[in-house]
């Protein structure tokens, strides 16, 4: 992964191939990946689009399938496994896209508040690559849930209640916390800031998101 320490590809790698390789590299060596986001060459920016789209989709699906709503969908006679899969794809895509832009704007707001002159696009892309652990949780945890509990995964009550479900929930939260940690790393790397300043920027972003959620909760 030595080529990942710069924004440009090495050894004949196309920008598209380089960015696909950076997706798993984010789990092992995130700093070179986020450093590569400093590159503003149009071809390099376009090369990130497909990996980012996949990450947004997988993270969105992982989020909606871990929600209480998904936990009772098969209790509804209108839902079967096929309809559930379609619902997860559509709802996850919408949730991921909205979260990408809303949380990306919050991160942009927090970074600007701390003195950043970077673009909204770059902050969104930092967020997208920080979602790699959350996207990975879909690939790893859903098969485990289905193997252990089958359809009860998406029904109220049943075999999926108890210590096993608590363990899986904690694992899901762990992947989420990993992604939050990567957001801090990404902000620190792309801006070259100190850790306290980077944490302050992310904290401001979280505060903005919390305020938005509180307003919507009050209105609804």
Question: Could you tell me the residue range of the domain that residue 145 belongs to?
Answer: 29-37+46-219
Choice between 154 and 126, residue whose per-residue pLDDT is larger: 126
Task: Give domain status of residue 15, yes or no.
Answer: no
**Res 1: pLDDT:** 44
**Res 146: pLDDT:** 87
Task: Give domain status of residue 159, yes or no.
Answer: yes
The answer, yes or no, to whether residue 4 has pLDDT greater than 80, is no
The answer, yes or no, to whether residue 149 has pLDDT greater than 90, is no
**Which of 86-100, 102-116, 163-177 shows the lowest mean pLDDT across its residues?**
163-177
Average pLDDT over residues 2-28: 76
Instruction: Match 């916390």 to its residue by tokens.
Output: 177
| Average of per-residue pLDDT values in the chain | 89
* Structure confidence at residue 159 as a pLDDT band (50, 70, 90): low
The answer, yes or no, to whether residue 205 has pLDDT greater than 70, is yes
* Structure confidence at residue 67 as a pLDDT band (50, 70, 90): confident
Average pLDDT over residues 39-63: 95
**Which of 140-149, 170-179, 191-200 shows the lowest mean pLDDT across its residues?**
140-149
Task: Give domain status of residue 11, yes or no.
Answer: no
Tokens of 153: 């995964």
Task: Give domain status of residue 191, yes or no.
Answer: yes
Cβ-contact 91, 64 below 8 angstroms: yes
Task: Give domain status of residue 16, yes or no.
Answer: no
Number of domains in the chain: 1
Query: Residue 152: left (phi > 0), alpha (psi -120 to 50), or beta?
Result: alpha
The answer, yes or no, to whether residue 7 has pLDDT greater than 50, is no
Average pLDDT over residues 3-20: 69
Task: Give domain status of residue 133, yes or no.
Answer: yes
* Structure confidence at residue 160 as a pLDDT band (50, 70, 90): low
Which pTM was predicted?
0.89
The answer, yes or no, to whether residue 106 has pLDDT greater than 90, is yes
Please state, in angstroms and rounded to a whole number, the distance separating the CA atoms of residues 136 and 139: 5
Buried b (16+ CB within 10 A) or exposed e, 66-95: beeebbebbeeeeeeeeebeebbeebbbeb
The answer, yes or no, to whether residue 124 has pLDDT greater than 80, is yes
Task: Give domain status of residue 134, yes or no.
Answer: yes
The answer, yes or no, to whether residue 125 has pLDDT greater than 50, is yes
107 closest CA partner among 17, 37, 166, 162: 37
Task: Give domain status of residue 102, yes or no.
Answer: yes
């Amino acid at each position: 992964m030595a080529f990942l320490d710069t924004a440009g590809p090495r050894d004949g790698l196309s920008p598209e191939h380089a960015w696909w390789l950076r997706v798993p590299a984010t789990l092992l060596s995130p700093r070179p990946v986020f450093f590569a986001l400093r590159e503003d060459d149009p071809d390099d920016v376009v090369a990130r689009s497909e990996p980012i789209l996949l990450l947004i989709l997988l993270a969105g699906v992982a989020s909606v399938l871990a929600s209480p709503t998904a936990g009772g969908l098969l209790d509804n006679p209108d839902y079967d496994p096929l309809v559930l899969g379609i619902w997860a794809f559509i709802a996850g895509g919408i949730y991921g896209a909205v979260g990408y832009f809303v949380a990306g704007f919050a991160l942009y707001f927090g970074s600007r508040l701390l003195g950043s002159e970077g673009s909204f696009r770059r902050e969104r892309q930092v967020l997208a690559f920080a979602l790699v652990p959350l996207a990975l949780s879909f690939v790893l945890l859903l098969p485990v849930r289905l193997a252990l509990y089958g359809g009860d995964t998406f029904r109220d009550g049943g075999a999926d209640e108890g210590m096993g479900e608590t363990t899986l929930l904690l694992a899901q939260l762990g992947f989420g916390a990993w992604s939050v940690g990567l957001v801090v790393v990404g902000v620190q790397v792309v801006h070259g800031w100190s850790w306290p300043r980077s944490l302050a920027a992310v904290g401001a972003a979280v505060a903005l998101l919390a305020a938005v959620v509180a307003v919507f909760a009050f209105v609804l």
